[in-house]
Amino acid sequence: MPASVATERLAGLQQLLGEQEAAFHRSKLDLEFPVLFEGHGRRSGQIVGRSPWMQAVVVEAPERLIGRTADCRIVRVGTHSLHGELVGAENETDDSELAGRACA
């Protein structure tokens, strides 16, 4: 098979996969589900976790949630990630817990 045919097929496959990923991300908009937070985001105040389907989820939240699971609502979808906000009890900052960790 000529290289040009292989290149064309690969481009078509990549486009299809991109369309399927975008559709899957859009299907999660406005849904709430648990997110396991893994680390810091690109911007100050952001943390990043994984959805139950292994998509990256970016949330503005306290660092104390890294290593923990918290419920999030998806408010925006990106090309390769979901953007959410905390829902429920984890949305409130517990200053006493933060102070205890800072002193430990």
Distance CA 48, CA 66 (A): 8
User: What's the pLDDT score for residue 79?
Assistant: 87
- Would you say 32 and 71 are in contact if contact means Cβ atoms under 8 Å apart? yes
> In the CATH hierarchy, which top-level class contains the domain 3-89?
mainly beta
User: What's the pLDDT score for residue 95?
Assistant: 41
Flag whether pLDDT at 59 surpasses 60.
Answer: yes
Strands 56-60 and 81-86: parallel
- Would you say 43 and 75 are in contact if contact means Cβ atoms under 8 Å apart? no
What is the token pair recorded at 62? 């306290």
Distance CA 65, CA 24 (A): 26
Distance CA 22, CA 20 (A): 5
User: What's the pLDDT score for residue 91?
Assistant: 60
pTM of the shown model:
0.77
> Which has the higher per-residue pLDDT, 79 or 32?
32
Domain ranges of the chain: 3-89
